[in-house]
Amino acid sequence: MPTLRPEVEALLGREFRCLDKGFVRLIDVMGDDRAIVQAARVSYGEGTRTPSDDRKLIRYLMRHRHTSPFEMVEFKFHIKLPIFVARQWIRHRTANVNEYSGRYSILREEFYEPAPEQIRPQSPLNKQGRASTPLPEAQAQAILERLRRTQQALYAEYQELLAQNVARELARINLPLSLYTEWYWKIDLHNLFHFLRLRLDEHAQYEIRVYARAIAGIVKVVVPLAWEAFEDYVLEGMSFSRQEQLVLRHLLRPEQLTEELLQQAGLSGREAQEFREKLARICSRGNALE
């Protein structure tokens, strides 16, 4: 087992605050970029092993969706999050979870109170999201005040039911989705990237994005090469449909492609070759539009 690099060691156990009372903590990690390379070399053979080869290999794996070597790295987090965030999170099934149980234990008085600037109107464009501008500050403050009072009242009622010895599993049913819960969450890097792709996306709800960003910050330190490839090909990648390619063909001047442009963009060797092939494929699409 390779020892942890010091910058990873320094992350372990550290609380990265999320929202007003939540956090993400890296509890344990198995493997790093070297583990990806090691697993890939079992499958795809040896090759020389300079650090630059490692980077190239990892980029190749990411680009061509050879996902299994990324499954060889495993993360374990301790996370504190509001229940409505937990409900979105848990939809990612390929992970291991142990959550604080309101049947066994008394739930703590900790509720999510949005920052006033996050109290926003329904998005006019996006059926599922909120607008990019907040409500007027006074209105937001009033709403926030109201959410807070309700949360306090609900917790007082919960305590009173417990005081009457109502079973914990029942006393909690009127507690709100804004209540904080906690869990241990363990997931491999391939599935974590999938989580991040969906939850860093601007269509994800703001609150879960905050957690995704905190986790991304950790992943970046643990597997810097895999992260870079993930960013270049997936997070910042852009996909065009068959129809869009038909249009692109009419907007592209492939003859303007120069070695220099490729170099400046950091495309060389195999990646440059693959780019040329993609352009050629677009330009050879039937004359459907003419």
Q: Which of residues 126-145 bind its own copies (CB under 8 A)?
A: 127-131, 135, 139, 143
Q: Which is nearer to its own copies, 68 or 220 (CB)?
A: 68
Residues composing the chain: 290
Write down the residue that tokens 């996006």 correspond to.
126
Closest CA to 19 of 158, 148, 178, 147: 178
The CA distance from 130 to 126, in Å, is 7
| Paired residues of 74 in beta bridges | 30, 188
Which of the ranges 16-24, 182-190, 210-218, 219-227 carries the binding residues for its own copies, by CB under 8 A?
182-190
> Residue 286 interacts with its own copies (CB under 8 A)?
no
Least distance CB 214 / its own copies (angstroms): 19
Please state, in angstroms and as integers, the Cα–Cα distance from residue 289 to each residue in 23, 129, 244, following that order: 53, 36, 11
Shortest distance (Å) from residue 263 CB to its own copies: 9
Site for its own copies in 18-47 (CB under 8 A): 27-31, 35, 38-40, 42-45
Nearer to its own copies, 221 or 252 (CB): 252
Nearer to its own copies, 48 or 251 (CB): 251
Among 10, 53, 122, 159, binds its own copies (CB under 8 A): 122
Fill in the DSSP letter of residue 136: P
Residue of 25, 59, 172, 199 marked catalytic: 199
| Per-residue b or e along 163-187, where b marks 16 or more CB atoms closer than 10 Å to that residue's CB | eeeeebeebbeebeebbbbbbbbbb
By beta-carbon proximity to its own copies, the closer residue of 118 and 221 is 118
Q: Of 5, 21, 118, 221, which one interacts with its own copies (CB under 8 A)?
A: 118
- Return the range that interacts with its own copies (CB under 8 A); candidates 15-23, 49-57, 92-100, 219-227: 92-100
Q: By CB under 8 A, tell whether 252 contacts its own copies.
A: yes
By CB under 8 A, tell whether 237 contacts its own copies.
yes
Closer residue to its own copies in complex, CB, 55/184: 184
- For its own copies, the binding residue among 7, 53, 203, 217 (CB under 8 A) is 203
- Known catalytic residue: 25? no
212 to each of 185, 199, 215, how far by Cα in Å?
13, 6, 5
Query: What distance in Å separates the CA atoms of residue 90 and residue 86, rounded to the nearest whole number?
Result: 6
Which of these segments, 14-22, 50-58, 112-120, 212-220, binds its own copies (CB under 8 A)? 112-120
The b/e string for 189-227 (b: 16+ C-beta within 10 A; e otherwise) is bbbbbbbbeebbeeebeebbbbbbebbbebbeebbbbbb
Q: Just list the catalytic residues.
A: 199
